[in-house]
Amino acid sequence: MAKTKSNQPRADFLNKRTLPDDVYTPEEFTEEHRMIAKTAYQFVEKEVDLHREAIEHQDFDQVVSLLRKAGQLGLLGHSIPEEYGGLGLDKISKCIVGEIIGKTSSYGVAHSNHTCIATLPITHFGTQEQKSKYLPKLASGEYIGAYCLTEPNAGSDALASQTTAVLNKEGTHYLLNGTKLYITNAVFSDTFIVYAKINGEQFSAFIVERDFPGLSLGPEEKKMGIKGSSTRSVIFEDCMVPVENLLGEAGKGHVIALNVLNLGRFNLGSACTGGAKHGFRLALQHTDERKQFGRTISKFTATQEKVARMMARIYASESLQYRTASLLEEAMKGLYEETNHTIVRDQMMEYAVECAICKVFGSETLDEVVDESLQLHGGAGFIQEYQIEQMYRDSRINRIFEGTNEVNRLLIIGTLLKKAIKGDIPLEELVEKATRDLTERNHAPMNEESAIQSIRNVFLFCVGKAFEKHGERLMDHQETVMKLSTIAITLFAAESAVLRAVKHESELKTMLARTVLEEALLTVESSSRMLLMSILSNEEKQQAVRLVFNEISMYDFGSSMERNRQIAHFSYKKQKYDV
């Protein structure tokens, strides 16, 4: 049985220093990790990539066929216990598979949706009978799953659901009525995790099968991207769901919905990181072949700077992703057998902030990379013949999936605020210390790790000023919260990149970490300046802004121009992201 942990997310990185030995990195993959990676790579290259055009033209039979093959290879069952037909692998393996599948765009959406939010509710909250009935089929691909939460009037506010469930007179079935929107995998799914309010009051979860009377589908949505992933409305009209298909406890559907979405966000970060690596590779290949003014585009230093910044951003995304994977594994080890849903909830919640950052930073990394990659393709990037055109369209959904990036930014600061109000962290003491450090500017030595502490001090200083201004109503001032969240996300990303470089020292990793850090310091300086200028009086703002600027501007990591040219040179030599 798993141990009971705090029922609040930790997010320790916001107020505590982390040591290099305390972070997990891809350099530490085991032989088992490398084997699952090889299996996933071969599946993508030999199966999925060959059918890219068919998938893009919505050949859903082909998508289902590929999902079945993935099931045969164990790629659908990495997060399902062995006793129920899965592999029961760790969260590092989940991250590896998610990243590799992520390069396949819309097939990856169908695959990841199935393995994560459509399956994990049963894995972690199902009864033994429910697990025995559904998990082996979901692991093999015999069943494909979908997740039904969004409604016309309930998106990020899931508890506003208007779908109802009423017990029939015989007490044998719940009758579900309502409509769910934008449901991924709808047309070929066999099971649906559906949220509805029992008697219009108790928000609950149900396992609904495709053939249950009263379930129907709307027409296929005409989407901008991810066309190979079916998206339809799922309609319930007195849909008969056996009482034994209630998932978890009546009235506790939010426990399942919100905590499974934490893992969904982590999973999405993995997929986006994998997609970004692929978009980066396309940029390298095209610019190393395309000639202008008598030489390849790759020889131009403006191109090299773009390439270096893309690679550094991916390095940060990869670093924070696997750091979080290890944290999740630590928190969730033993949960496959756990039957106490309170313990399951608490341990799944423990790294909710880090999961939100994976989603936000990963999706924004992918968008930046595909945008720059398309730009480096020039006019060719606008032509469907080139993969980057599809990637550009497909990437946009990720900032909306699994809770918009704005909602996730609110979650990050909201968590910290709740902990401060409850007394779980000594916020006032932390702010005082950070302010003292900024004022005294006593740094020895002036290196990458001390720069991370400077970012943390600036974050806490800004939190203190925002809390002084707005108090417990801080969350009502979302413009301020968004800026605080940007600093927090930047802190986690930069720290992850720096600690990885320190732990596994190499010239390339050091260069990448420094480029990440320079970008981070600029982001923090800009965000904190805007925040402080908007909430402080004229007398206070100049002093506060000067304090932050003096702290941020004192770091010098050498010539970024020469460093970025070296990073680009290394990238072109490898013709892919490789550290």
What b/e sequence results for 304-341 when a residue is b if at least 16 CB atoms lie within 10 Å of its CB, and e otherwise?
bbbbbbbbbbbbbbbbbbbbbbbbbbebbeeebeeeeb
The predicted model gives 329-346 an average pLDDT of 89
Q: Give 159-197 pLDDT, tens digit per residue.
A: 789 999 999 999 999 999 999 999 999 999 999 999 999
pLDDT at 7: 53
Calpha distance 510→576 (Å, rounded): 18
Phi, psi of 336 (to 5 degrees): -60, -35
The predicted model gives 36-41 an average pLDDT of 98
Which CATH number is associated with domain 147-247? Answer: 2.40.110.10
Residue with the bigger pLDDT between 336 and 369: it is 369
15 secondary structure, DSSP code: T
pLDDT at 444: 63
The predicted model gives 481-508 an average pLDDT of 98
User: In the predicted model, is pLDDT for residue 42 greater than 80?
Assistant: yes
pTM for this model (two decimals): 0.96
User: In the predicted model, is pLDDT for residue 522 greater than 90?
Assistant: yes
Place of tokens 């802190």: 491
Q: With contact defined as beta carbons under 8 Å apart, do 537 and 498 qualify? A: no
Domain boundaries, the chain: 147-247, 426-574
Instruction: Using CA atoms of 84, 90, 94, 99 in order, give the dihedral in degrees to the nearest 10.
Output: -160
pLDDT at 157: 79
Q: Give 209-264 pLDDT, tens digit per residue.
A: 999 999 999 999 999 999 999 999 999 999 999 999 999 999 999 999 989 999 99
User: In the predicted model, is pLDDT for residue 4 greater than 60?
Assistant: no
Please state, for a pLDDT cut of 70, what percent of the chain lies above it.
98
pLDDT at 443: 63
What b/e sequence results for 38-70 when a residue is b if at least 16 CB atoms lie within 10 Å of its CB, and e otherwise?
ebbeebbeebbeebbeebbebebebbbebbebb
Q: How many CB atoms are located within 10 Å of the residue 281 CB?
A: 19
User: In the predicted model, is pLDDT for residue 155 greater than 80?
Assistant: no
User: In the predicted model, is pLDDT for residue 6 greater than 60?
Assistant: no
Which conformational region is residue 79 in: left (phi greater than 0), alpha (psi within -120 to 50 degrees), or beta?
A: alpha
Phi, psi of 99 (to 5 degrees): -65, -45
Which conformational region is residue 471 in: left (phi greater than 0), alpha (psi within -120 to 50 degrees), or beta?
A: left
Phi, psi of 279 (to 5 degrees): -60, -35
User: In the predicted model, is pLDDT for residue 550 greater than 60?
Assistant: yes
pLDDT at 441: 74
One-letter amino acid for residue 130 of the chain: Q
Calpha distance 34→513 (Å, rounded): 25
The predicted model gives 470-488 an average pLDDT of 96
User: In the predicted model, is pLDDT for residue 3 greater than 50?
Assistant: no
Among residues 56, 99, 368, 402, the one annotated as catalytic is 402
pLDDT at 320: 98
- The separation between CA 231 and the C-alpha centre of its own chain, rounded to angstroms, equals 21
Average pLDDT, the chain: 95
Calpha distance 207→139 (Å, rounded): 16
Strand bridging mode 291-292 / 246-247: unpaired
What b/e sequence results for 386-401 when a residue is b if at least 16 CB atoms lie within 10 Å of its CB, and e otherwise?
bbbbbbbbbbebbbeb
SS3 79: coil
User: In the predicted model, is pLDDT for residue 20 greater than 90?
Assistant: yes
Residues 6+ away with beta carbon under 8 Å from 53: none
Q: Give helix 560-574 / helix 253-287 axis angle, nearest 10°.
A: 90
Model confidence at 425, pLDDT cuts 50, 70, 90, reads confident
Range name among 131-140, 237-246, 434-443, 467-476 with the lowest pLDDT average: 434-443
User: In the predicted model, is pLDDT for residue 33 greater than 70?
Assistant: yes
Calpha distance 448→325 (Å, rounded): 24
Q: Which CATH superfamily is domain 426-574 in?
A: Butyryl-CoA Dehydrogenase, subunit A, domain 3 (1.20.140.10)
User: In the predicted model, is pLDDT for residue 422 greater than 90?
Assistant: no
Q: Give 50-77 pLDDT, tens digit per residue.
A: 999 999 999 999 999 999 999 999 999 9
Calpha distance 445→436 (Å, rounded): 18
Model confidence at 1, pLDDT cuts 50, 70, 90, reads very low
Residue 432's closest CA among 410, 400, 451, 460? Answer: 460
The predicted model gives 290-318 an average pLDDT of 97
Place of tokens 């369209």: 393
Residue 402 is a catalytic residue = yes
The predicted model gives 109-119 an average pLDDT of 97
